[in-house]
Amino acid sequence: MSDLIKLDYDQAEAMARQFRESADVLQETLHEILTIAAGLEAGALVGQSGDQLVSILRQDLGPSISRFTEKLRELEMDVQMAVAMMRQADSEAQSGFQ
């Protein structure tokens, strides 16, 4: 087994950016879902069907989207940390040859 570790910085940074952008889109989606739920609660859909839909949006879908958004932000930070650690290791390795 090789001790060689490689990281394509550009690809890793692009991945971190994609995680961040996806989290941002999900956050916007959650805002829209909560706006819809508020409209339903304000009378757009009354009765049991409206109550059930609001419940699904607020209690099921909303928290799921929030958890997924948090996970994407966590992944972004993990990739950024890996890039920083590899850059530091590369710098230390190069300084040993000077």
Give tens-digit pLDDT for 33-75.
999 999 999 999 999 999 999 999 999 999 999 999 999 999 9
pLDDT number for residue 1: 58
pLDDT confidence of residue 18: 98
Domains in the chain (CATH in brackets) are 11-87 (1.10.287)
Q: Is 3 helix (H, G, I), strand (E, B) or coil?
A: coil
Tell me how far apart the alpha carbons of residues 45 and 62 are, in angstroms, rounded to a whole number. 19
pTM: 0.86
Amino acid at position 61, single letter: L
Q: What is the pLDDT of residue 98?
A: 66
Q: Which two tokens stand for residue 84?
A: 């920083």
Alpha helices in the chain (DSSP H): 9-39, 48-55, 62-95
Burial (CB count <10 Å: 0-12, 13-18, 19+), residue 19: buried
CB contact at 8 A, 6 and 34: no
